[in-house]
């Protein structure tokens, strides 16, 4: 593996049965899993090209069930970007995802972090209980991106993951810019991202 | 046809011997019989008193026990100590007996003072109050053997030698006399006591652990024979002059080397595979297959023709008659410069007959198969598999298990020149006993090519013990360096076990890992199914994928599909679980 390779750890979180695995498998293997087998913790790897640059994604599909909550802290610590998934037809899952949001920021000890809020099951429009406006308002208040998706119809699936990759890149670029460099303005980081001390 | 192996049926054996003798006379190979005999003489040199035991200890990797010049080598010393700590009482007694002999010889020979005392090696058992897991197992086993008649039940968890010992003790106490060779020659259907942690076939373990298996098996086999008071005369293999290339009369290793250059991964000589497949292509229904010899005059020229044109692919197979092919196959086995069952163990294979029960015979054969070098083991397996396919057609070809065994026994046991060393009387008793061994090898091939659980358990103990010692050292070094790094993996193990799941990894898949809930029923095959239902690997065939147990107290073990994961997890809690293609 070359040292140049870009590699990100993405974590898919959210309540039970909102479609985390369906989204992940649709993204990785391009098909919709209809079986309802609760995940404990699965991980995937995929190489994709975002904005012309190749990236290896390690994607962690997590348990929605509360029983496995003990594992949360650990994956939250290692994750570099999070997909917070709820189901548009499930109010409980929407509240839960807000708790996940708080927890990520607490574990990371930051005010903001690369996160995309995903309202899944957009195909079940008749059963929708969370309006786009409400979700969008929550996202905007917290400075995160919001998307609606359907794992079943493969709608906004790749887009959600790729959007997260772009956000992580921007975030990490900001991070690698040394605070001391403030007075020289934003560095055009075309060269080496290393910080020479 | 009657299943008993009486003397009448041995007629075929003598006919086969006659055929062999004639083929030597007529088709006698270039080198001539005289030289062959001289070579044999060397091969069968019986070592001096003490020498045999020395060689045995060296093979078991226990040289240190009698040679104190090696004691300075700390690693080897520790390894010996770890190895000894895993032995059962009967196994340890077998080692002790040989150490004593060697020491007496050494003392007599050199009158040396600094030979380690046997009492220093085998201290009186201190930790009797706290028996190890294994000893507990053997006690259970003893009860089992005592309480119920388990002659056809195979217990693989208790060392065979321990079982044999309690069998012997019971029979002595109860004054039951059993003839050494009971007239009942019906071969029972042995029932395996179900092992929830899965069967370990030969090839499932890594070469590193297989080395330990070999050492343990050597000790165990000797211990088993010791319980019956059978002294195995080990023959030393002396290098003999043999052909460096060709097909007939070439050492198995040379032949396979040559074949592997043509077809990498070849485990059974191509010429033998080709002869077998030719016989099968001609149809297995032919009456008297393997029994009816080909024409001795033709065999000689066919043999030369094969030597010159086999590898060019120019040999006219379509003209080869089935019985001639069978004769060539038998000739190939006989002409091996070293017997297929090896010089070292040939007599041990024959001695199996002296064990008092069919079960013990089977157990001894199991150990002997494990002791064979890989080439010999694989080639022998291909043969017994073929014999079974012949037997499967017995309704048509009339070749029953007994018929095939009787006809093949002289070919397998009377390799080049061996007969000249055997008296007529010896040969007579050898006829029945060798046929019996071939019979057992064919009949129980599925049981024989596996590693008994107690051996795997002892390997696990060995690994745990050496790890414990290493960790101790490392801990001291760590303390000195005062490194305090928090390792997340240290926490993962207890967490996962308390959560009741295992993490299965599959590096070559796009789904690289999956946490699987551990239920009582979950088997290795289920884990594979779960994984494969969601992922389709591009370059791998599904039949070639297996779940492996890696690390913890085993280097690597390919899992039998029926392994119960929860039971195995308890046996090796820090193992990793990896799906990969079989090597």
- Quote the pLDDT of residue A89: 96
Report chain B residues whose CB lies below 8 A from the CB of A33: 534
Of B512, B517, B536, which is closest to A44 when you measure between CB atoms? B512
Which three-class secondary structure string do you get for A100-167?
A: HHHHHHHHHCCCCCCEEEEEECCCCHHHCCCCHHHHHHHHHHCCCEEEECECCCCECHHHHHHHHHHH
pLDDT tens, residue by residue, B528-562: 988 877 655 555 566 789 999 999 999 999 999 99
Q: Taking the alpha carbons of B267, B268, B273, B276 in that order, is the dihedral positive or negative?
A: negative
Which range among A167-181, B140-154, B300-314 shows the weakest confidence by mean pLDDT? Answer: B140-154
Question: pLDDT grade, residue A186 (50/70/90)?
Answer: very low
Chain A and chain B share a number of CB contacts under 8 A equal to: 42
Which range among A25-39, B339-353, B497-511 shows the weakest confidence by mean pLDDT? Answer: B497-511
Verify whether the Cβ–Cβ distance B534 to A43 is below 8 Å: no
Question: pLDDT grade, residue B418 (50/70/90)?
Answer: low
Which range among B64-78, B204-218, B338-352 shows the weakest confidence by mean pLDDT? Answer: B64-78
Concatenated DSSP letters of B25-59: HHS--TT-HHHHHHHHHHHTPPPPTTHHHHHHHHH
Nearest chain A residue to B487 by CA distance is: A74
- Quote the pLDDT of residue A68: 79
CA distances from B206 to B151, B201, B386, B571 (A): 33, 12, 27, 18
CA separation for the pair B20, A73 (Å, rounded)? 76
Verify whether the Cβ–Cβ distance A45 to B501 is below 8 Å: no
Q: Is pLDDT above 70 for B505?
A: yes
Q: Across chain B, what does the average pLDDT equal?
A: 81
Question: pLDDT grade, residue B116 (50/70/90)?
Answer: low
- Quote the pLDDT of residue B400: 94
Buried b (16+ CB within 10 A) or exposed e, B468-502: eeeeeeeeeeeeeeeeeeeeeeeeeeeebeebebb
Verify whether the Cβ–Cβ distance B511 to A43 is below 8 Å: yes
CATH code assigned to B235-451: 1.10.555.10
Verify whether the Cβ–Cβ distance B512 to A41 is below 8 Å: no
- Quote the pLDDT of residue B455: 95
Burial of A48 (0-12, 13-18, 19+ CB in 10 A): middle
CA distances from B37 to B42, B307, B579 (A): 9, 23, 52
Query: When comparing pLDDT for B480 and B465, which is higher?
Result: B465
Which range among A35-39, A79-83, A134-138, B378-382 shows the weakest confidence by mean pLDDT? Answer: A35-39
Q: Which of A78, A42, A80 is nearest to A60 (CA)?
A: A42
CA separation for the pair A100, A84 (Å, rounded)? 7
Q: What is the mean pLDDT of residues B420-447?
A: 84
pLDDT tens, residue by residue, A126-163: 999 999 999 999 999 999 999 999 999 999 999 999 99
Q: Is pLDDT above 80 for B134?
A: no
Q: What is the mean pLDDT of residues B65-86?
A: 75
Query: When comparing pLDDT for A1 and B390, which is higher?
Result: B390
Query: When comparing pLDDT for B490 and B507, which is higher?
Result: B507
Separation in Å, CA of B145 to nearest CA in chain A: 44
Q: Is pLDDT above 90 for A196?
A: no
Separation in Å, CA of B326 to nearest CA in chain A: 53
Q: Is pLDDT above 60 for B50?
A: yes
Residues 55-74 of A with CB under 8 A from B: 58, 67-68, 70-71, 74
Chain-centre distance for alpha carbon B248: 25
Query: When comparing pLDDT for A195 and A25, which is higher?
Result: A25
Domain boundaries, chain A: 7-176
CA separation for the pair A50, A48 (Å, rounded)? 6
Q: Which distant-in-sequence residues (6+ apart) come within 8 Å of B368 by Cβ? A: B221, B341, B345, B348, B349, B352
Given a contact cutoff of 8 angstroms between Cβ atoms, the answer to whether A21 and A103 are in contact is no
Domain with residues A7-176, CATH architecture: 3-Layer(aba) Sandwich (3.40)
pLDDT tens, residue by residue, B7-45: 557 888 888 888 887 776 554 444 433 333 344 444 555
Q: Which of B312, B335, B339 is nearest to B250 (CA)?
A: B335
Nearest chain B residue to A59 by CA distance is: B511
Which three-class secondary structure string do you get for B219-240?
A: HHHHHHHHHCCCCCCCCCCCCC
Query: B557 φ, ψ to 5°?
Result: -145, 125
Q: How many CB atoms lie within 10 A of CB B97?
A: 15
Verify whether the Cβ–Cβ distance B499 to A41 is below 8 Å: no
- Does the CB of A46 have a partner CB in chain B at under 8 Å? yes
Verify whether the Cβ–Cβ distance B495 to A45 is below 8 Å: no
E strands of B420-522, at which residues?
Answer: 450-451, 501-505, 511-517
Given a contact cutoff of 8 angstroms between Cβ atoms, the answer to whether B572 and B464 are in contact is no
- Quote the pLDDT of residue A51: 93
Confirm whether the ipTM is greater than 0.95. Answer: no
The residues on B that touch A, with CB distances below 8 Å, are 488, 491, 495, 499, 501, 503, 510-517, 534-536
Report chain A residues whose CB lies below 8 A from the CB of B507: none
Sheet holding A41-50, edge to edge: A145-148, A115-120, A81-87, A6-14, A53-62, A41-50, B511-517, B501-505, B576-581, B545-551, B554-558
- Does the CB of A192 have a partner CB in chain B at under 8 Å? no
Of A41, A58, A70, which is closest to B515 when you measure between CB atoms? A41
Report chain A residues whose CB lies below 8 A from the CB of B535: 29
Report chain A residues whose CB lies below 8 A from the CB of B517: 40
Given a contact cutoff of 8 angstroms between Cβ atoms, the answer to whether B432 and B406 are in contact is no
Report chain A residues whose CB lies below 8 A from the CB of B503: 41
The CA-based diameter of chain B, rounded to the nearest angstrom, is 81
Domain boundaries, chain B: 235-451, 498-582
Separation in Å, CA of B547 to nearest CA in chain A: 17
Of A29, A46, A58, which is closest to B535 when you measure between CB atoms? A29
Domain with residues B498-582, CATH architecture: Roll (3.10)
Separation in Å, CA of B507 to nearest CA in chain A: 9
Verify whether the Cβ–Cβ distance A33 to B512 is below 8 Å: no
Separation in Å, CA of A94 to nearest CA in chain B: 26
């Amino acid at each position: 593996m070359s040292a140049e390779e870009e590699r990100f750890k993405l974590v898919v979180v959210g309540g039970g049965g909102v479609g985390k695995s369906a989204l992940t498998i649709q993204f990785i293997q391009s098909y919709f899993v209809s079986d309802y087998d609760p995940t404990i913790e699965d991980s995937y790897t995929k190489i994709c090209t975002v904005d012309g640059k190749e990236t290896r994604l390690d994607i962690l599909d997590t348990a929605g069930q509360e029983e496995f909550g003990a594992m949360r802290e650990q994956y939250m610590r290692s994750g570099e970007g999070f997909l917070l998934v709820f189901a548009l037809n499930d109010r409980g899952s929407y509240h839960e995802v807000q708790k996940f949001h708080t927890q990520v920021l607490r574990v990371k000890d930051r005010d903001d972090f690369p996160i995309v809020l995903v309202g899944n099951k957009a195909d079940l429009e008749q059963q929708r209980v969370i309006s786009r406006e409400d979700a969008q308002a929550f996202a905007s208040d917290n400075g995160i991106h919001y998307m609606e998706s359907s794992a079943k119809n493969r709608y906004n699936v790749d887009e959600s993951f790729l959007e997260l990759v772009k956000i992580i890149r921007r975030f990490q670029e900001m991070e690698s810019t040394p605070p001391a460099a403030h007075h020289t303005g934003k560095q055009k980081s075309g060269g080496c991202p290393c910080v020479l001390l | 046809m009657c299943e008993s192996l009486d003397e009448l049926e041995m007629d075929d054996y003598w006919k086969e011997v006659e055929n062999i003798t004639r083929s030597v006379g007529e088709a006698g190979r270039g080198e001539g019989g005289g030289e062959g005999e001289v070579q044999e003489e060397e091969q069968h040199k019986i070592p001096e008193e003490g020498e045999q035991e020395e060689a045995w200890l060296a093979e078991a990797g226990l040289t240190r026990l009698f040679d104190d010049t090696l004691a300075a080598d700390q690693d080897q010393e520790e390894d010996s100590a770890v190895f000894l700590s895993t032995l059962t009482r009967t196994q340890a007694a077998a080692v002790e007996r040989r150490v004593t002999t060697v020491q007496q010889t050494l003392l007599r020979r050199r009158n040396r003072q600094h030979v380690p005392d046997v009492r220093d090696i085998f201290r009186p058992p201190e930790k009797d109050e706290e028996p190890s897991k294994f000893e507990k197992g053997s006690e259970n086993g003893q009860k089992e053997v005592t309480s119920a008649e388990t002659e056809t039940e195979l217990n693989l968890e208790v060392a065979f030698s321990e079982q044999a010992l309690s069998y012997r003790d019971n029979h002595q106490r109860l004054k039951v006399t059993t003839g050494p060779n009971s007239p009942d020659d019906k071969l029972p259907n042995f029932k395996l006591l179900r092992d929830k942690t899965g069967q370990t076939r030969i090839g499932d373990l890594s070469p590193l652990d297989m080395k330990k298996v070999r050492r343990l098996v050597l000790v165990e086999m000797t211990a088993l024979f010791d319980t019956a008071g059978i002294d195995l005369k080990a023959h030393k293999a002396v290098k003999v002059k043999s052909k460096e290339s060709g097909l007939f009369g070439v050492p198995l290793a040379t032949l396979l080397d040559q074949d592997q250059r043509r077809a990498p991964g070849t485990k059974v000589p191509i010429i033998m595979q080709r002869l077998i497949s030719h016989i099968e292509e001609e149809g297995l229904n032919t009456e008297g297959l393997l029994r009816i010899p080909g024409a001795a005059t033709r065999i000689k020229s066919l043999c030369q023709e094969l030597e010159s044109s086999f590898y060019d692919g120019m040999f006219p197979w379509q003209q080869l008659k089935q019985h001639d092919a069978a004769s060539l196959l038998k000739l190939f086995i006989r002409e091996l410069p070293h017997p297929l069952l090896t010089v070292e163990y040939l007599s041990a294979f024959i001695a199996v007959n002296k064990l008092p029960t069919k079960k013990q015979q089977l157990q001894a054969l199991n150990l002997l198969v494990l002791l064979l070098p890989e080439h010999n083991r694989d080639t022998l397996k291909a043969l017994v598999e073929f014999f079974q396919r012949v037997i499967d057609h017995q309704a048509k070809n009339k070749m029953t298990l007994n018929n095939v065994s009787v006809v093949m026994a002289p070919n397998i046991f009377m390799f080049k020149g061996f007969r000249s060393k055997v008296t007529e009387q010896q040969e007579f008793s050898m006829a029945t006993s060798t046929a019996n061994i071939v019979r057992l090898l064919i009949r129980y091939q599925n049981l024989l090519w596996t590693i008994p659980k107690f051996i795997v358990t002892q390997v696990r103990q060995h690994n745990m013990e050496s790890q414990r010692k290493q960790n101790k050292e490392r801990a001291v070094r760590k303390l000195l360096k005062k490194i305090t790094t928090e390792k997340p993996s240290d926490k993962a193990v207890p967490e996962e076990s308390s959560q009741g799941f295992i993490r299965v990894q599959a590096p070559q898949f796009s789904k690289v890992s999956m946490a699987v809930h551990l239920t009582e029923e979950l088997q290795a095959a289920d884990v594979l199914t779960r994984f494969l239902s969601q992922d389709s690997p591009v370059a791998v065939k599904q039949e070639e994928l297996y779940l492996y147990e890696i690390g913890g107290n085993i280097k690597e073990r390919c899992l039998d599909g029926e392994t119960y994961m929860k039971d195995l997890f308890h046996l090796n809690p820090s193992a990793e679980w990896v799906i990969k293609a079989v090597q």
